[in-house]
Structures are given as C-alpha cells and as structure tokens.
Amino acid sequence: MSTALVILAAGKGTRMNSDLPKVLHPIAHAPMLQHALVAGQTLQPERTIVIAGHGAETVRTALAEIDEDVEVIVQEEQLGTAHAVAQARDALAGFAGNIVVLYGDTPFVSADTLERMIEAHSDADLVVLGFTAADPGRYGRLVMDGNSLERIVEYKDATDAERQIDFCNSGLMAGQATQIFDLIDKVDCANASGEYYLTDLVGLARAEGLRVTAISCDEAETLGVNSRVDLAQADQVFQARTRMAMMEDGVTLMAPETVYFAFDTVIGRDSVIEPNVVFGPGVTVESGAQIRAFSHLEGCHVSRGSKVGPYARLRPGAELAEDTHIGNFVEIKNAEIAAGAKVNHLSYIGDASVGEKTNIGAGTITCNYDGVMKHRTEIGARSFIGSNTMLIAPVSVGNEAMTATGTIVTKNIEDGALALGRAEQENKPGRARKLMDILRAKKARLKKGAE
C-alpha cells in the first residue's frame, strides 16, 4: 500500500529565541527538518506534505532546495496536532494509502523504526510510536493491555499508578488516511489548552472497535528539539552515532570525540582521520585516504590514497585525484589537483588545475581575483613551481615547466620552459649600518621628548 508522510513543522519554537523557524535550525549543517525528511524517504512515500506555520515562506524556500517534490501547506492558526494533520486533508483527497505522521523537530527517528510502524499497521488500524523513558517525567503515558494500546494518558491527568508507567508517547502515528481523517473529525477541544490533540485518536478508534497498538523504539530516536540546549544535545547525539557508524564501516578515527561530521559526510574504509578534523557539507573521502589533524574540509572530493593536512583547508570545488598531498596551511578552492601532485606548504591554489606529479613550492599563490572577476590558472603535468611564485591569472604553465623561486608570472609559460621573474638585486655597501644609526638616533630623540 502506498504511503504519505505528513510532517508537522508549524511550531514557532519560542524557547529557541530566534527569528528562524525552529525546524530550520541546523544539526550537523542540515536543518533538523531535513533529518526527518531523509528518514521518512526510506518508506518511498508517494506524497510528502509538510505542515508549516511560523515562518512558512522561509520553510518553503528551504524545502525547495532540499526536495522540490515536498508539498508545503500552511496552518494559519496553530490549534493542536490533530488540527495540523487535518490541514493535509484536501491535498490527500482520494488518497487511499497510509499516513505516517512525523515531527520536524524530532529528527532522529530511524528508517528501521518507521518500517516497523508500517509492518505493525498490517495487524492494527492505528499504530503509535512509544519509547521506554529513563526518566518519564511529564511525558504522556501509553497504557497497554498486551499488544493493545488502551489509551494515552497525559501526565497531569494520570493516576499515581499510571505515572509509574515508563512507556511514553513520542507523538508519531501511522494509519490509513481516510480512517485518520474520519477520526480527526470527531476530535474536540474540550481541554485546558483548547486545542485538538492527535492523541485523542486512540480513544476514538477504540470506541469504534478499531485495533490500536504501540511499538517501541530507543529513547534517543524520540529526542525533541525545543531550545538551544536541546539543539546542542541533538548535535552531540548525531556526532556520536556518526562516529560509531564510521568506525564500524572501517574508518579509523584516532580521537573520535574530536572529529566533527556533517549530515552528508561520506568516508571510505581504511581511511584515517586524525584528531580535530572538521567536515562541512558535501565532503566525500575515498578509501585509504588520510586526513591529518586540524584540517577543515567542505564541498570537496578526496580520492584514494591522498593525504591532507595537518592544518589544511579544502573549500568547495576542491577535487583531489589519487595519491595527492596537500600539506600544512594550504588552502585549495575550486581547483583540480591531479594524481600524484603535491601542494605541501603554505600555499593558496584557487580557480586552478594542477597536472599530475606537479610540485607546488611553499608560499605559492594563484592570484585569481581582480576585485570583480575570478580567473583561472592552468598548470601542466610534472612541472615544478618554485617557492613564493605568484601566478597572476589568467595564466597557464606548460608540462614539465619550472618557475624560479620568487617569480611573478604574468604571461603563459610553454612546455619545458623555465620562468624567472625577479627584480634585480642590488647591494649597497655600508648602507645598513648607516640606516640603523639614523633609526636609533630618531628613537632616542622621541624617547627624550616624551620625558
């Protein structure tokens, strides 16, 4: 049976103290809403609907960049969770499949858990996701009778015995679309908050003789984000999970707790990641590469056998072929470094291509920006670029060419040529001593005047 996701993302998130809608606050460089979307996509939904409210246009714009097929419906008044799901009724008119209700601020529900919810729905009309809480606190309690969910009791309404229950409500729910909307029609707002609650569907369903059950997941999957403190905790959860997954997949993390991963980081097995490495969005590191300490990578691709760092920065568009070496205090941006090439020390290579087995000397800069436009530098294979070479783009260096140390390159260098572009050195005998005497005398006069 086909599935539709309905993701509730209308909350203002007052405790975030932010102009940004709560669900767009990032965890590992991706909006928390995107984490929920990705988990939901494992169900291969026919439709995905996000119910937005506060900052709806901002949410719509962000979703267009994440997945243009996601539909956004605005809940003009936030009148509770049942009211929010009801906003999807018209969009799902005629849809006879299942609805899975997710929350944009509950980003860690796993694909496996969602699949188990769908499996449980084959034996029950309504499925609720619960978790066993280490500290149940003020969570709503799930009152079970065997596999049957009798009712959801809010903490304030629970008896002392019910408060001892540690099986708690996550808020997620799955059921057949028409059935869910029919039950929502019967929900009232006769409660202290005057809102329409999705949890009321359990009692209504049982009153109609429908089968209701609850399945359990790990408590960490149900972590909700309502404040900056929660956001930091969520990021820590993501990092811990990702570090463990990386190591289980064959990646060596020398100091796991110091490595920071982005939402979409991909690293091949037998790679070695040294301490204090930061991965921004869009990074792929192939098998057998080494990322050395204190390096920062973003929007780049590192091929098999390459070495990066320490203290290197790879910016968007950096493409490293196999067995390249990028050393300390080197920055690469929008540049292709061919197989076996080396940029080992204190250099900036931007808007450029470097040929195979070429060596870039320390202090080399591709001067790519004229204040308005970016220009490219093309360096051929097996060339040697001397230390402190300034390559004024646009310019090209041929294969097996060489630049002398300190050269300023302003015109193309043909294959096999040596370029020398230094100013002529002139020595002035005795001038250094005279100059130092003048400067010391001036300093003494200034000191005497100050007294």
Which domains occur in the chain, in start order? 3-222 (3.90.550.10), 228-419 (2.160.10.10)
Phi, psi of 369, rounded to the nearest 5 degrees: -125, 125
Q: How many whole angstroms separate alpha carbon 318 and alpha carbon 334? A: 5
Catalytic, 345? Answer: yes
Phi, psi of 134 (to 5 degrees): -65, -35
What are the pLDDT tens digits along the chain (451 aa)?
Answer: 799 999 999 988 889 999 999 999 999 999 999 999 999 999 999 999 999 998 999 999 999 999 999 999 999 988 999 999 999 999 999 999 999 999 999 999 999 999 999 999 999 999 999 999 999 988 999 999 999 999 998 888 888 999 999 999 999 999 999 999 999 999 998 877 788 999 999 999 999 999 999 999 999 999 999 999 999 999 999 999 999 999 999 999 999 999 999 999 999 999 999 999 999 999 999 999 999 999 999 999 999 999 999 999 999 999 999 999 999 999 999 999 999 999 999 999 999 999 999 999 999 999 999 999 999 999 999 999 999 999 999 999 999 999 999 999 999 999 999 999 888 889 999 999 999 999 999 999 998 887 7
Catalytic residue among 35, 54, 301, 345: 345
**pTM for the full predicted model:** 0.88
Q: Rounded to an integer, what distance in angstroms lies between the CA atom of residue 296 and that of residue 277?
A: 6
Q: Decide if 179 contacts 196 (C-beta within 8 A).
A: no
**335: which strand partners?**
352
Inter-CA distances, 113 with 16, 120, 217, 411, Å: 28, 10, 7, 62
